Structure 1
Amino acid sequence: MTRTARELLETTTRDLAPDPRSNPLVPRIARGEADPAVLAALALEQRRVIPADRTAFLHLAERSTARPETAAYFTALADGEALAAEHLEVFAAACGVDDARARAHEPLPGCQSYPAYVAWLALNAEPADTVLALTANFSAWGGYCATIAEALRTHYGFAEEACAFFDFFAEPAPALDEAATTAVRTALDAGDLDETRARDHARLLQTYEAQFWTALAEQAQ
């Protein structure tokens, strides 16, 4: 029996969900045990990730002009990254990050492997396959952000506005979910989506996501 677009998205997300115990850093943040310096490092690394991902999403939208539903999904992602960048600056400032500290920061390869692969997808992958891969990965990222947002308030004394970056990604996004479903449905109907290839992309994204947290945790030791 052929699966619907929603079933395919849900199944892929479930099958590729990381073990909650595999993240070496977020549980420490959740308990308030991570040094505040690691929060600053998180902000500094995200200052590179967010604009890089936005550029990649815009390029994917440009490559999807023949598929308006797919282009709309990537445009929505790019718009979201622009808003997230504004929230990120507030979080970074609350962590004590200023221009001098940002210039002195040496980015961690393990943290930047994720946006590097998103850029690879933007250049090389089929946009429809990338919709499925990204949507599967966003579930794990959103869960981590929800945990961090709560910890920032509970253990680190951050003001509401300084938590907005993580709140943004943690909150349900029904419009984006619907855009992803529509894009996947259209691709399935047209025969444009390769599930095996999309799962490979999603698996690599999850691996690079794990490397991001591992690299931060190792730096903090």
Structure 2
Amino acid sequence: MTENPLVALIATGTAPVETLATLALEQQRVIPADRRAFLHLAQRATAQPETADFFRTLAEGEAEAARRLTAFATACGVDEPRSRTYEPLPGCQSYPAYVAWLALNADPTDALLALTSNFAEWGAYCATIAKALRHHYAFTNEACAFFDFFAEPAPAAPRVEPTDKELVRQYSRALQHYEGSFWATLLPRP
């Protein structure tokens, strides 16, 4: 797992609740954007039924994550007016913007390989956060359910061959960079 300074702060209970609130607010934008991107990839993968099914499964997972996110946001003090008026941070939204770019431009098989290359690390971050929210922040199981969901093993991806291995590596590196930007943008400022 890559070193993630924000996850480390959350793990020790030293991240402010306001930082957690911002995480919730940003995820309220990421989740529906990723869901739409996965649905678009499924639509583009009609000649690859297993790939299309996988993207539909991911889209269903995003819908479930959105339902679970509400309790986390509420536990962080985020209400509907704040949610509605929140202005997202570009450093956090670069990740879903790139996922949308992949949905429009990458071969669906290559996008699948790039996206799944990061699932284990994201899942490990979520497991750490869920544990810390319970231990250090006294959040309920319901408030931790968003992170519990992503901490579970990701759906099994179909075995596919890339159309271009170098492009898949580039896409994967870019996704890792944008995810790093997401977490770095959320770090509390002195």
Indicate the TM-score class for this superposition, using the shorter chain for normalisation: over 0.9
Counterpart CA distance in 1 for 2:131 and 2:24 is 16
After superposition, give the CA deviation of every residue in 1:1-34 in whole Å (9 maximum; x if it has no partner): xxxxxxxxxxxxxxxxx632xx221100000001
Structure 1 counterpart of 2:6, which letter? L
Q: CA deviation at 1:125?
A: 0.4
1:87 aligns to 2:29 (yes or no): no
Match of 1:4? none
Q: CA deviation at 1:103?
A: 2.6
Counterpart CA distance in 2 for 1:172 and 1:134 is 15
Match of 1:100? 81
2:51–2:158 contact (8 Å) kept in structure 1: no
For residues 23-102 of structure 1, the aligned pairs below 5 Å read: 23-102=4-83
Count of residue correspondences: 190
Match of 1:197? 167
Give the TM-score of the pair, scaled to structure 1: 0.83
Q: CA deviation at 1:194?
A: 1.4
Q: 2:102 aligns with which of 106, 121, 141?
A: 121
Q: Which runs of 5+ in 2 are unaligned?
A: none
Match of 1:140? 121
Q: CA deviation at 1:104?
A: 3.0
Q: CA deviation at 1:199?
A: 1.1
Structure 1 counterpart of 2:118, which letter? N
Counterpart CA distance in 2 for 1:131 and 1:42 is 25
Counterpart CA distance in 2 for 1:45 and 1:72 is 27
Counterpart CA distance in 2 for 1:171 and 1:141 is 10
Q: CA deviation at 1:94?
A: 1.1
Structure 2 counterpart of 1:194, which letter? D
Structure 2 counterpart of 1:141, which letter? W
Q: CA deviation at 1:193?
A: 2.4
Match of 2:179? 209
Q: CA deviation at 1:84?
A: 0.3
Give the TM-score of the pair, scaled to structure 2: 0.96
Q: Which runs of 5+ in 1 are unaligned?
A: 1-17
Counterpart CA distance in 1 for 2:20 and 2:59 is 24
Identical columns (%):
63
Larger radius of gyration: 1
Structure 1 counterpart of 2:133, which letter? L
Counterpart CA distance in 1 for 2:109 and 2:45 is 9
Q: CA deviation at 1:145?
A: 0.5
Counterpart CA distance in 2 for 1:181 and 1:146 is 24
Which stretches of structure 1, 4 residues or more, deviate above 6 A after TM superposition? none
State the secondary structure of the residue aligned to 1:172: coil
Counterpart CA distance in 2 for 1:98 and 1:193 is 45
